[in-house]
Amino acid sequence: MADADKKEKPKAPQGAKSPQGAKQPRAAKGPAPAAPATPAARARVTGDMPPRLRDRFRMAVIPALMKERGYTN
């Protein structure tokens, strides 16, 4: 009966860390790595070059799949 009267605290799953025992991250030693001053410039898209992958998909892949699998639409 004495054991039934005692209330046990719910236990955390094994491997879980308790918030009280959580370690704080250490400060980095030495100087911080320098970040680049400006990001690398991207090439500007002008629209002069046609999208070759889309064209190939529409002209070759779609008709081949339609023929192979018997799609009509």
Question: Which residue in this structure is represented by tokens 């400006």?
Answer: 38
Q: For the chain, which ranges sit under pLDDT 50?
A: none
What's the pTM value of the predicted model, to 2 decimals? 0.34
Q: Which two tokens stand for residue 2?
A: 């004495």
Estimate to the nearest angstrom the gap between the alpha carbon of 51 and the chain centroid. 27
**Number of alpha carbons in the 13 Å side-chain half-sphere of residue 15:** 0
Question: Which residue in this structure is represented by tokens 């991250």?
Answer: 25
Distance CA 73, CA 24 (A): 61
Residue 55: predicted pLDDT: 92
